[in-house]
Chains A and B, each alone.
Chain A
Amino acid sequence: MNLTKYFNLNYLKENFKKSRGILLLITIIIPLLTLFSILFINKPASYTKIVELMEISWVNMFGMYVIPIAISFILFGYVYKKTSVDFINSMPINRKTIFITNTIGGILLITLIQILTAVTLLLSSIFIKEIMIFTGMIIDVFIIMWIAYLFMFFVTNLAMTLSGTFLTQIALTMIILFIIPFCLSTFDLLRNQKIIEEEYTESTLQNSENNNNITIMENIDNKEYTLPFDLIWNTDLSFSNTRNAKMLVLGIVYFCLGLYLFQKRKMENAEESFSKVKVHLFVKALTVFPLLVLVNLASESPNKFLILLIIIYYFVYDYIVRRKVKFKYSILGLIITLAVSQGIIVGIENYYPINTSYRDNMEIAREDVDEVSLNFDDNSYYLREQPENDYYMNNKELIDLIFDASERSYEFREEIKSIDVIDSVNSMTSLYGNFKCKDGRILRFYAEILEEDEEKFLDILAQDENFMKSIKDKYMEKSVITFNGHVMLDIGEKIELEGKNAINNMTLKEYYTLYSKESLNGYYPLYFNYYKNHNLVSLYVPINISNEVLKTIADNENEFIDQNFYVGENSSGNRFNIGIMAGPLGYDRNDVEFSNFSGNFFYTLDLMEEFINENKNEKIDPSQKCYAIQITGINSDYNNERIFFTNKTEEIDSIIRKEMSFYQETYYYDF
């Protein structure tokens, strides 16, 4: 087999050589900017934090929209200039070889860029002590971005085969990338808006028809398109096998299509958008359509000014992409474009089927449910970020209880609706989980139940040993321990061991009580962190903190406060808040004396500032009573949470009393 028919190394070398400067820049810019972005994360460099996917890949993410287009232009840019077309295409290398050679060259460059970026991340993780990046995350970033860059490269190459100018290539790239997912997503949006409008008049869908407190939050079978679109539309950068597979398959299809079209390409097309006016007008119409949809979505009656802008764009477009079109054809094209676009929008708004699919997806009856998985949740922000429990139970009794309990809570709510709202909320608790339906749907749900039904759930769940095992298994992974977002370098392993042992010995009820019942006592934000199944898992550790651990944490935190807490620097618009995070042993928020204290110092902020300044180098004794005081926004450079520990609980109590006195005054004056 003669490989030179498909790949010509000499040609590739020369193609690289002629643009070596810009290629070098393209190759190093992403790794370099990624490094800068990481260094930027760590200002001020004071502690080690676990870095999230977005933090290490946003540069790469932006690069995805630029670098593949630039590579495509460097390798195939000759097609946009008549002189270079004559020169290159008369050389003893056929078009198929040019296309395949340049494509392989682009793939190699993209691979090199991603390898360099991954190595940069790896070395940063090793040498920059302030950050910790999981190796699995680096590998995921490499895979996500490598596939996305390749996909973008294939799309831009396909656009190149049809375009006569670089700007047309960009316009066509956008159309190929976005037009279909944009239309489908917009149509869904329009449809959902219609449903919401209808529901608004009918009361909520679930309550009006099912009389229970189960809310279907989303259908897990969400539509995923390609990363360049999903990132803009849903700001979704997560690792998804479906999306990666889509991009790979589409990439291969686009490559084959590009190869075919490149061989058929009309090279005389250079320096003009398209060889045919009809094609030019059609592509222009496709660029106008999304703009019209967005204008239509923006308001009920389309803004005349925006419409005028679109019409101006319609005519300016010809000059931008350098294509002469007779005025009468332009006008005719504009009328047709506006008419067809408006027709489609009106058609979607009025006739797009909303009959069954969406409603069916969001409705649920107990007969539909085949299996259920449950996550414990105490409504705190962090815990909602917990990974889903993927242990599904085919337990009729449990499924019935979810529906019965939510119906009871619904009835209860209806009964006390006009009596005491606060009490009704306090007597509710919530369940999160997934329903696997008999028809294959997986629905994420949220159900409100009465606290009195909690025990019944725990009784049923306790009978299923695998349920507790599924919870415990999550804690058994090799983890990095963080406190308040900071990696515990010194005592991490000890906490991990303590935590694992404690959880291993817990019963379901013990776990649930510690996990779900809010208590200030011993409630410190300690987390097990690891990277598994392409997700950064952050698990709250429901254990009582030991004195040894508390001592280390407190010393670390107070040392940071000592160096960074400056009263006065916050006046430059960088406000901070001070609140009680955890009180002394035995302290309970429901304590009679402090039962009305909200936990935050609004009126006594100055006193707290003064107190912290005076005591910021305090070394605490964990065996004595101590307060953990949460401070948000310490100085102008640092806008994150830190915790200040103090044994001077009586002084804090006195400030709390002072704070509460303002509450009473306010209460008094308000009423």
Chain B
Amino acid sequence: MIKISNLSKSFENKKVLENLNCNIKTNSIYGFVGANGAGKSTLLRIINDVFKADSGTVEIDGKSIENNQELKQKLVFVPDDLYFFPNYTLNEMAKFYNSMYKNFDMEYLKKLAETLKLDMNSKIQNFSKGMKRQCALICAVCTNADYMFFDETFDGVDPVIRGLLKKIIAKQMEKKETTIIMTSHNLRELEDICDNLALIYKGGILFESEVNTLKTNMFKVQVSLKEDFDKDTFKDLEILNFKKVGSVATIIIKEDKEKAIEKLQNLNPIILDVLPVTLEEMFVYEMEVLGYEFNQVF
């Protein structure tokens, strides 16, 4: 488990993280979303001991990461801007990882490279951006680290490869207990893979939730009643958003789906359609509840 307490970091008077608190459960996929410059990458760098926090603590499995070589064996970080040694091939990079990580699986890496059609003996600097990202990701996966951090992981990767990479990550989690922490400025990239999502805004976590809870507890209905109605007609329901166009209202409800529909049925609606809500919409409505406009945050 990763426990982040009151984490703050400034770059020359500019606060990037401010009293950030967060708990990341083991064996889950945790996603940090936020606009560019929100502090996602800085957070990952501090967790991985690349940067030092100004204040606050990061504990992984109850231990501080600072100068803890043994603990760092359990962590692997794939940053947004990738780095490979000049003129190195994938094979050479893999050997470097192998020399640094005790549990590196060279055979598995070769297998993955074959699956992704990556030439082990070509210089990585000649690869495309997407291929480089694949190289970095498979090297990271093969470390068999307990905690894997991927910063803007799927940036520049085509949908087919993105699907493949997600499968590789999922398979790794099946293979052993692994906690994946990802960041993206695009919510859609994370919605189908993450168990938990946290929205970083102005150096703090604005909103955090399990994706399943969000999905089961939030839904959208289109409803029309015989008589004239307004928002107060549905006061028994926990409404996040209410919009009425003509005689049809679109309502976002945040509560147990079955109970809420039962309440709506009791009003004898002429129309009652339950519609799916995208994760992005869920975030929009949650933000609105908190008093933010989604466009401000992203």
Q: Name which of B52, B73, B75 has the most chain A CB atoms within 10 A of its CB.
A: B52
- Asked if B108 is an interface residue, CB under 8 A from chain A, the answer is no
Which of B11, B68, B75 is within 8 Å of A94, CB to CB?
Answer: B68
Known A-B contacts A267-B51, A277-B12; the reply to A83 vs B79 at CB < 8 A is: yes
Chain B's closest residue to A276 (CB) is B12
Contact A13 B49 (CB under 8 A): no
Instruction: Chain A residues near B170: list those with CB within 8 A.
Output: none
How long is the Cα–Cα vector from A553 to B83 in the complex, in angstroms? 69
Alpha-carbon distance A92/B71, docked complex (angstroms): 8
| Contact B73–A92 (Cβ < 8 Å) | yes
Contact A10 B99 (CB under 8 A): yes
B80 and chain A: residue at smallest CB distance? A86
Determine if B289 is an interface residue (Cβ-Cβ < 8 Å).
no
If A89-B49, A263-B67 touch, does A83 touch B99 (CB 8 Å cutoff)? no
Q: Are B52 and A264 in contact (CB under 8 A)?
A: yes
Enumerate chain A residues within 8 angstroms of B32, measured Cβ to Cβ.
none
A571 to B155, alpha carbons, bound, how many Å? Answer: 75
**A96 / chain B contacts, CB cutoff of 8 Å:** 67
Residues of A within 8 A of B85 (CB): 14, 18
Cα distance A275–B45 when bound, in Å?
17
Complexed CA–CA distance, A13 and B95 (Å): 11
| Min CB–CB distance B84 → chain A (angstroms) | 8
- Residue in B closest to A91 when the chains form the complex, CB atoms: B100
Assess whether A86 is in contact with B79, with CB atoms less than 8 Å apart. Answer: yes
A348 within 8 A of B: no
Measured as residues with beta carbon below 8 angstroms from the partner, the interface class of chain B is 20 to 34
Interface-centre pick from A85, A86, A93 (highest chain B CB count, 10 A): A86
Which residues of chain B have C-beta atoms less than 8 A from A90's C-beta? 45, 48-50, 72, 75-77, 79, 149
Complex Cα distance A87/B149, Å?
Answer: 12
By a CB distance below 8 angstroms, the chain A residues around B50 are 85-86, 89-90, 267
Say if the beta carbon of B258 comes within 8 Å of chain A: no
CB of A325, distance to nearest CB on chain B (Å) = 12
Which residues of chain A are near B88, meaning CB under 8 Å? 18
- Count, chain A residues at interface, CB 8 A: 31
Chain B residues in 8 Å Cβ range of A523: none
Interface residues of B in 22-76 (CB under 8 A from A): 45, 48-52, 67-70, 72-73, 75-76
Q: In this assembly, does B82 line the interface, its C-beta being within 8 Å of a C-beta of chain A?
A: yes
Chain A residues near B100: list those with CB within 8 A. 10-11, 91-93
A86 touches B81 (CB 8 A): yes
| In the bound complex, CA of A84 to CA of B86 (Å) | 11
Interface flag for B219 (CB, 8 Å): no
B78 to chain A, nearest CB (A): 9
User: Is A478 part of the contact surface with B, judged by Cβ < 8 Å?
Assistant: no
> Is B96 an interface position by the 8 A CB rule?
yes
Residue B77 contacts which of A14, A83, A86 (CB distance < 8 angstroms)? A86
The answer to whether the Cβ of B101 comes within 8 Å of any Cβ in the partner chain is: yes
CB neighbours of A275 from chain B (8 A): 11-12
Chain A, residue nearest B69 (CB):
A94
Q: Flag if B69 contacts A92 (CB, 8 Å).
A: yes
Residues on A with C-beta less than 8 A from B68 are: 94
CA distance A98 to B272 in the complex (A): 65
The answer to whether B96 and A14 have CB atoms under 8 Å apart is: yes
Q: Report yes or no: A83 in contact with B81, Cβ–Cβ below 8 A.
A: yes
| One of A4, A82, A83, A94 near B49 (C-beta < 8 A) | A94
Instruction: Indicate with 1 or 0, residue by residue over B163-178, a CB within 8 angstroms of chain A CB atoms.
Output: 0000000000000000
Give Cα A5–Cα B67 distance, bound, in whole angstroms: 10
Asked whether, in the complex, the Cβ of B99 is within 8 Å of the Cβ of A87, the reply is no
Q: Are B69 and A97 in contact (CB under 8 A)?
A: yes
Interface string of A71-85 (1 = CB under 8 A from B): 000000000011111
A282 to chain B, nearest CB (A): 15
In the assembled complex, the CB of A541 is this many whole angstroms from the nearest CB of chain B, namely 61
Which residues of B have CB within 8 Å of A276? 12
Q: Are B67 and A94 in contact (CB under 8 A)?
A: yes
The answer to whether A11 touches B69 (Cβ under 8 A) is no
Q: List 9 A-B contacts (CB under 8 A).
A: A4-B69, A11-B99, A14-B99, A83-B79, A84-B83, A86-B50, A86-B83, A89-B48, A90-B50
Q: Chain A residues in contact with chain B, CB under 8 A?
A: 4-5, 10-11, 13-14, 18, 81-87, 89-97, 263-264, 266-268, 275-277
Q: 18 additional contacts, CB 8 Å, given A18-B85, A85-B50, A92-B100?
A: A18-B88, A83-B79, A86-B50, A86-B81, A87-B79, A87-B82, A90-B50, A90-B79, A93-B69, A94-B49, A94-B68, A95-B67, A97-B69, A266-B51, A267-B45, A267-B52, A268-B51, A276-B12
